[in-house]
Amino acid sequence: MIGRLIISLADVYCMVIFVYVLLSWFPTNSGILYDINNVLARVCDPYLNLFKKLIPPIGGIMDVTPIIALLVLQFGSRLIAGIL
């Protein structure tokens, strides 16, 4: 029961991070996308910044921290759910 809840919450948070990363590909200077991006930044950046401190961008251009963060979140939630 608790394990399913943990996995469900992790899945929802992964989707939020995924949407945040997709929105980062588009210019958002104003409007509804700007507001959505700001809300998602407040939710996602604290978690993503943990990985940005450890993993530099590849070639100074490509940021792979969202991929690593999603993998850690998925594996970690399933590990915790398996223990419970």
Structure confidence at residue 3 as a pLDDT band (50, 70, 90):
confident
Cβ–Cβ < 8 Å for 38, 52: no
Tell me the C-alpha distance between 36 and 38, whole Å: 5
What is the reported pLDDT for 82? 86
Residues in the chain: 84
- pTM (two decimals): 0.85
Tell me the C-alpha distance between 48 and 31, whole Å: 24
| Phi, psi dihedral angles at 58 (to 5 degrees) | -75, 120
Structure confidence at residue 26 as a pLDDT band (50, 70, 90):
confident
Tell me the C-alpha distance between 36 and 8, whole Å: 22
